[in-house]
Every structure is written in structure tokens, then in C-alpha cells.
Structure 1
């Protein structure tokens, strides 16, 4: 029993370490993608690319994100919110 607990604790420690290693851009991009998925959109390569642009440090990243999402059929309000989430 003690061994099982030790293994479980070690596994949780590794999982927590993995989360800590994720870059902020990855986390923000995933928030954008998750939001769009919750709104019923298919999260494919084009959505992922747009969300990644929204999470970049470039001044135009958020604008490009919105334009790309609008271009693939994401409603204006949803694109705005998703790109805001990507920029957090």
C-alpha cells in the first residue's frame, strides 16, 4: 500500500512538473482553442494557427488571429473573445 501511494505521489509530481514547463503561449493558444471548441467550432489546423498567432508577442498577432478566424467562418464576437483569450 505504501508503495502504491509513493508511486501515485511521484506520478502527480511529474504531472505538475509538466504543467509548469508549458510555455505561456501554449497555454494561451489552448485557451483560445478550448473556447472555440466549446462554441461548437471544429478546432483544426487553421484554428490552431490563428490561436497561435493571437498568443504571439507581435503587435499584430491579435489582429491576425481575428482576421484568420473570421476568414474560416468564426463569428466576429467569438473570434474577438478567442483572440483575447489567446493574448492572456
Structure 2
């Protein structure tokens, strides 16, 4: 699964947090530090298991819980049209 930003969406990072900015609507979505780490990994890697492995080096969390959280995040970001799977 290759994740990319939708057209007209920016991903801007601050020191630890980040924002999605929809240039069409002017709306933005704030991401805390852990969400930012997940999003950065998803945008860099097409292998969700690799993303999970990398994040488990940073966070002490159950693997299955992390995977579920990531899948829910992907679903929500797709639902609000901030990201898509490559080729959509």
C-alpha cells in the first residue's frame, strides 16, 4: 500500500507536531508528535509492517494495537480526503 497526499494537500511539520492543510478548503488538521511519526513513516514506506517495525523502535506499544491504530488513521485520513493510496 503506497500512501500519498491528495492533490492540493500540504503536510507541514513543526518541531514535533504537524498539520495537513487542504488548499482548496483552507481547512487544516493538527497532528500530535506520535501521529506525525506515523504519517511520516507512511509517506516514506509502502510496507505497513516495515512502518510498524520502525515505530516499535520508538514507542512501547502492543504491535497489534499499533497496527490497528495505523489502519484506522489511514481510513480516517482517506475519509476526509487528505491522503489516498497511490493510483487512486
TM-score bucket of the superposed structures, by smaller chain? 0.3 to 0.5
Structure with greater helix percent: 1
Structure with greater Cα Rg:
1
Q: TM-score, normalised by structure 2?
A: 0.37
Structure with greater strand percent = 2
Tell me: higher relative CO, structure 1 or 2? Use CA pairs within 8 A at least 6 residues apart: 2
